[in-house]
Every structure is written in C-alpha cells, then in structure tokens.
C-alpha cells in the first residue's frame, strides 16, 4: 500500500475490548508503512494518547464506556483522520456526518482495512472545514436534550453534568461554561450549544448568555428595557428584553 517516499502512518487503536485491539494490531502489523504508536481501551485514554503521540490516523470504536467514539471525535482537532471500527452498522450515517474517513464494520478483511488506510493517507495534512457544532450535534442521539458536556483542556477531559452548570457565556468562537467559581472554555458557538439544552431549564436571556433558571435568585431592573438576573451565588447576568419575555413564560 505504500509508495517510495511515503512516510510511516502513525496509528492509534481505540477499543474497549482487548481481543478486538489484538486482532486489529495483528492486521496492522502485517501491513507495510504502518506504526501503531498507542492502544487505548476507553475514550479518555484516546484523547490523552492523541495529545501525547500526535498520530496520523485514529482507529476508533464507537460503543465504549465513559466516552463513546463520537464524543471522542468532538474533543479532537478536526484535521485528524478518523476511521470508525465497530460491530454496529446503525452508526454509519452519524459517522459520515462528522466527516469520518471510513467506517469499518466488524469483521472486516485486511484488504478492507488497507483501503480505509489509503483513504486516510489522502486526508493526511488536509484540515477539512468541520464546524464544531456539527460534530457536537452528531455526537448525541437526535431529539434528546444534552445531559453532559465534554471539554478538553490539553490532554485532560472534563465531563460536566448539565445539572452542575450555572450559566454559559459566549466568548468569540467559543463558550465559557460556568460551574460554581470555575469556567471551562469549549470551542463551540453558543447558539448550537443552546439548541441542545432543555428549554424548560436553560434560557437564552441575552445574545451572549444562557442561564440555568434554577440558579436565578431574582431579576432586577437595570435600565430602561434592560434587566439583570442575580444568581444564587451573587453573579449578575444581563437580560435583554426578549430574554426577559422568555423568562416570564417560565418563572
């Protein structure tokens, strides 16, 4: 599969089942031009391994504990080619929604794996324009409200339960998720994240703020047609006229 002058493809294998990892490793060991730089048994290990080893390709299972394959993709740079390796064909559409290079359905042959790796080789070094919100939307079942938010900080992954979120603030091309005195920065637009939240619990009170209504202590008039929401911890969040109208429907 390699040609003269081709560089080694550095590969990371991610699968929660050891026999599956072993079989995939054996297939890769039989192919020229491939170097397996890490094996991971869950999504957290995968995110750290990608940061540590900077692979060319990620061979990624989908159904795993802690973080599933789509949640892992959400946390990675969009330029990394991903080949999903799974025993379930129902995830194929979502896989290509997040611009996966290929989708290998177990069991597969060495020839089919070789084809997928060649496709990944052509993607190497080319960063597709993939909106983070598109990845985030595909990472969860449609028509369901978000139950947790994954935020990557270096090689570390924070799993933030929705119940713990006080408010979310727009920061240019990212959002700041406020949990008590801490804030977590995630590269995603506020509108896309707000669309995944339960509208009976989280209200966009301002073009730059979404608030957990359970955290609101009171609302005060700030200026004409302008108000502020005082949260239980004393934090003040601006409320626009349209945001106040939405609040009045729930409070």
Q: What CATH number is attached to the domain comprising 81?
A: 3.40.50.2300
What are the tokens at 220? 């005060």
* From 24-38, 149-163, 194-208, the region with the lowest mean pLDDT: 149-163
> Can you give the pTM of this predicted structure?
0.69
User: pLDDT digits over 162-192, tens only?
Assistant: 999 999 999 988 999 999 999 999 988 999 8
Question: Is residue 150 located within the same domain as residue 50?
Answer: no
Of 205, 195, 204, which is closest to residue 240 (Cα–Cα)?
205
Residues near 138 by beta carbon (within 8 Å), at least 6 away in sequence: 70, 94, 97, 98
Mean pLDDT of the chain: 85
pLDDT of 139 reads 46
Q: Order of strands, edge to edge, in the sheet holding 226-231?
A: 216-223, 226-231, 236-239
User: pLDDT digits over 189-211, tens only?
Assistant: 999 899 889 999 999 999 999 99
What are the tokens at 29? 């060991």
Give the integer Cα–Cα distance in Å for 158 and 34.
Answer: 32
Q: Which of 135, 159, 193 represents a domain boundary (last residue)?
A: 135
Of 113, 21, 117, 11, which is closest to residue 55 (Cα–Cα)?
11
Overall residue count recorded for the chain in this entry: 251
* From 3-7, 8-12, 163-167, 233-237, the region with the lowest mean pLDDT: 3-7
State whether residue 230 is helix, strand or coil: strand
Q: Name the domain count of the chain.
A: 2
Res 135 pLDDT > 80: no
161: how many CB neighbours lie within 10 A of its CB? 10
User: pLDDT digits over 48-72, tens only?
Assistant: 999 999 999 999 998 898 888 888 9
Question: Is residue 149 located within the same domain as residue 131?
Answer: no
User: pLDDT digits over 210-224, tens only?
Assistant: 999 999 999 998 877
Give the integer Cα–Cα distance in Å for 102 and 119.
Answer: 8
């Amino acid at each position: 599969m390699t040609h003269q002058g081709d560089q080694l493809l550095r590969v990371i294998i991610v699968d929660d089942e050891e026999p599956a990892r072993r079989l995939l490793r054996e297939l890769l060991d039989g192919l020229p031009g491939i170097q397996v730089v890490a094996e991971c048994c869950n999504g957290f290990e995968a995110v750290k391994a990608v940061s540590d080893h900077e692979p060319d390709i990620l061979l990624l299972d989908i159904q795993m504990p802690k973080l599933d394959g789509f949640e892992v993709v959400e946390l990675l740079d969009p330029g990394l080619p991903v080949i999903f390796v799974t025993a379930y064909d129902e995830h194929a559409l979502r896989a290509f929604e997040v611009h996966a290079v290929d989708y290998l359905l177990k069991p597969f042959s060495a020839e089919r794996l070789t084809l997928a790796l060649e496709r990944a080789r052509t993607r190497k070094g080319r960063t597709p324009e993939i909106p983070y919100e598109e990845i985030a939307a595909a990472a969860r079942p449609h028509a369901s409200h978000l139950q947790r938010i994954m935020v990557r900080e270096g090689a570390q992954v924070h799993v933030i339960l929705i119940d713990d979120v006080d408010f979310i603030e727009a920061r240019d091309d990212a959002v700041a998720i406020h949990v008590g005195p801490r804030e977590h920065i995630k590269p995603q637009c506020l509108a896309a994240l707000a669309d995944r939240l339960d509208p009976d619990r989280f209200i966009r009170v301002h073009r730059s703020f979404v608030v957990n209504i359970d955290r609101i202590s009171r609302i005060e008039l700030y200026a004409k047609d302008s108000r502020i929401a005082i949260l239980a911890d004393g934090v003040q969040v601006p409320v626009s006229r349209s945001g106040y109208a939405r609040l009045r429907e729930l409070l």
